[in-house]
Amino acid sequence: MEQPEHRATFTLHSREYRLPQCPTVVVCIDGFDPEYLQSGLDRGLLPIFANFMKNGFRATEMSCMPSFTNPNNVSIITVALPSIHGIAGNFFLDRSTGKETMICDDSLLRGSTLPKQMSQCGVRVAAVTAKDKVRKILAHGLKGDAVCFSAERAAECTLAENGITDIEQWVGRPAPSQYSADLSLYVLDAGIKLLQEDKSDFLYLTLSDYVQHKHGPSSPEADDFMNAIDEGLAKLAAMAIVGVTGDHRMSRKSNDAGEPNVLFIEDVLNAKFGENAARVICPITDPFVRHHGALGSFVRVYLRDQTLLEPALAFCQALPETKVALSGKDAAQRYAMPLEREGDIVVISTSSTVLGSCRSDHDLSSVMDFPLRSHGGLSEQALPVIMSKAVNNLQAARPRNWNNYDVFDLVLNWAV
């Protein structure tokens, strides 16, 4: 592909990036828990992953907090922490209006993104996501010729909005259900087509975690899903440098009877401190509630009366379901989250527990078909990062710990 003669690199957040010299793909596997990977590797089900790890590169990385989809996808494309880019959940409370708001576009995003910078340098950029809630953020600042669409809304794509149309005919099958493994596989198939037809040189493909929310490692459903991803990676790697990362891992949150281990923290706070003493926001909340019932490992507590801060914080810290409880200020500092979008208290659950607001706000029937698996806490941060190519001068590439947002540094700057 031709590169702009006047420019071979650009800088984002004080780090320099090379423009791709060959097609380059980053795949974010939503819910990329290493147990799924290791289970498949141990039984010889994932030959392409095995090849990447033997002949390319693998390390353990950490996701950002909270370990949810939106903050981490935005961290990956901005190569920055949430305290810098400003997105700290899928759902938040706007203190100025008192309204609970879904983050479904780039209006709260601060700064630039790596795809935007690539697009402005003349690189043909494509971003394909399973969930439309991420798509408008990925499209931030892209030039008109860039391709950006979601599998969820593939039937509705237009040239003006998405840079491509007639997706279903082009991919060869209808847009899949939101609640299916095929939502993710559709993304991979679209990425493969974009490369086969020489429509893009720089791709970001981000999947759905529907399967991992419902099915544990070594289950037939998880095996089939991981094997299909493996086959998709084989096709991508035949045409491009491929980096694979994740936004969070997944933990079982159910007891032996298959019932969710839930603490409805707004209920217990109001029982302790009085009616309407606390309001709890679950930032995992999104349109895909059948995945998780809006139950995750991280919540934000807003207090009616600030004199309750110390006793309410102490109460939260003493709950057996709590791993960490901090004031919003301390949580923002410790986990590099934007302070202006924090609650009064942040509560993070243990690895086997999820947190809800009020029992009446959560439909548990949506998560009773399989033992609940979810994420958002500290126990869901450690992930694999994998690349199809070996790394040139590993010590120079990263003399410190890896984060999932380092994946673009890997594929652009250090692939052999």
Q: Tell me the per-residue pLDDT of 367-416, one tens digit each, with 9 for 90 and over.
A: 656 788 999 999 999 999 999 999 887 666 565 688 999 999 999 998 88
Residue 257 lies in a domain: no
Measured distance CA(349)–CA(345) in Å, rounded: 13
Position with higher pLDDT, 85 vs 1: 85
Clarify whether residues 172 and 268 are in a common domain: no
Question: What tens digit of pLDDT does each residue of 260-295 get?
Answer: 899 999 999 999 999 999 999 988 875 444 344 678
Clarify whether residues 391 and 365 are in a common domain: no
List Cα–Cα distances, 216 to 41, 209, 220, 286, 373, in angstroms.
15, 12, 9, 22, 8
Clarify whether residues 95 and 233 are in a common domain: yes
Residue 110 lies in a domain: yes
- Supply the CATH number for residue 180's domain: 3.40.720.10
Clarify whether residues 356 and 405 are in a common domain: no
- DSSP 3-state assignment of 260? strand
Residue 2 lies in a domain: no
Measured distance CA(26)–CA(197) in Å, rounded: 18
Clarify whether residues 281 and 400 are in a common domain: no
Clarify whether residues 221 and 312 are in a common domain: no
- Supply the CATH number for residue 319's domain: 3.30.1360.110
Clarify whether residues 120 and 245 are in a common domain: yes
Clarify whether residues 187 and 243 are in a common domain: yes
Range of the domain at 353: 262-374
What's residue 318's pLDDT? 97
Task: Give the side-chain half-sphere CA count within 13 A for 245.
Answer: 28
Clarify whether residues 190 and 108 are in a common domain: yes
Domains identified in the chain, total number? 2
Neighbour tally for 238: CB within 10 Å: 12
Residue 367 lies in a domain: yes
Measured distance CA(168)–CA(292) in Å, rounded: 28
What's residue 370's pLDDT? 76
Determine what percent of the chain is predicted with pLDDT higher than 70: 93
Residue 255 lies in a domain: no
Residue 256 lies in a domain: no
Clarify whether residues 195 and 286 are in a common domain: no
Task: Provide the Cα torsion 18, 21, 23, 28; round to 10°.
Answer: -20
List Cα–Cα distances, 222 to 2, 60, 164, 213, 333, in angstroms.
40, 21, 31, 10, 37
Clarify whether residues 369 and 391 are in a common domain: no
Residue 172 lies in a domain: yes
Clarify whether residues 73 and 24 are in a common domain: yes
User: What's the whole-model pTM score?
Assistant: 0.92
